[in-house]
Amino acid sequence: MARHLRGGEPVTWRVERHVAPRFWILGAVVLGLVGAFLLRTFVFGVYYVPSGSMLDTIHEGDLLLGERVSLGFDDPNPGDIVTFNSPLEEGETLVKRVIAVGGQTIDLRDGVVYVDGEALDEPYVGGRPTESLSDLAGSEGITYPYVVPEGTVWVMGDNRTNSKDSRYFGPVSVDDVTSRARFIYWPIWDVRAL
């Protein structure tokens, strides 16, 4: 567009639009998806809790963030809340608390858990007794005291009277542990670090 000023010289105005090429937009989308995939695969996992086996620590319907990176450097430790591949149902993920690790001895006496002869202080069970599940149909029939094999962890739900756990299916391989549960992020009234 040209316009003449009083002096007679034409002045040209040109309007340039800078539009990001489509490949930049597509590249950003692809990079974001790849980044999300890598984070979800190697850094954290998102888990839905379908049962009340971890009450009152974790409630049915809670959504958890589980951290995976530290498992590459450090096996699960007693007290950790972990997610792991279910030994009961293919493709299912369970969440429980690690009570003992390979080489430690578990015993159940009068509703109390003993590890290496010491009674555990377990305020998270809310006074519920811990009984053997060996007499349930389909259980591994574990007898106590029981030495946890190396390379495995002994896990139990905090809701001891309503949890199928290592008392039922036995110890869990460290290789089947998928994350350490770190944070409840939904519903809003349950949001907290674990």
Quote the distance between the C-alpha of residue 105 and its chain's center: 26
From 22-31, 62-71, 72-81, the region with the lowest mean pLDDT: 22-31
Q: In sequence order, what are the beta bridge partners of 82?
A: 96, 180
Buried b (16+ CB within 10 A) or exposed e, 40-63: eeeebbebebebbbbbebbeeebe
How far apart are the C-alpha atoms of 29 and 135, rounded to whole Å?
54
* pLDDT-based confidence at residue 44 (cuts at 50, 70, 90): confident
DSSP state of 161: G
Closest by Cα among 86, 64, 110 to 166? 86
Residue 113 is encoded by which pair of tokens? 């858990």
96, 163, 164, 166: which is the annotated catalytic residue?
Answer: 96
96 annotated active-site: yes
Token pair belonging to 49? 């809790």
> What does the alpha-carbon distance between residue 184 and residue 66 come to, in Å, rounded to a whole number?
9
Q: Please report the pLDDT score of residue 33 as a whole number.
A: 72
- Split at pLDDT 50, 70, 90, the class of 5 is low
Q: Which two tokens stand for residue 189?
A: 């009234």
Q: Are 35 and 156 in contact (CB under 8 A)?
A: no
164 catalytic, yes or no? no
**For 11-15, 31-35, 143-147, 173-177, which range has the lowest pLDDT when averaged over its residues?**
11-15
Q: Is residue 13 pLDDT above 70, yes or no? A: no
Catalytic residue among 51, 53, 70, 163: 53
Q: What span, in angstroms and rounded, lies between the C-alpha atoms of 18 and 2?
A: 22
**Res. 101: pLDDT tops 70:** yes
User: Which is more confidently placed, 12 or 137?
Assistant: 137
Q: Is the pLDDT of residue 15 over 80?
A: no
Q: Is the pLDDT of residue 19 over 80?
A: no
DSSP 67-85: E-GGGGTS---TT-EEEEE
In terms of pLDDT, which residue wins out, 36 or 153? 153
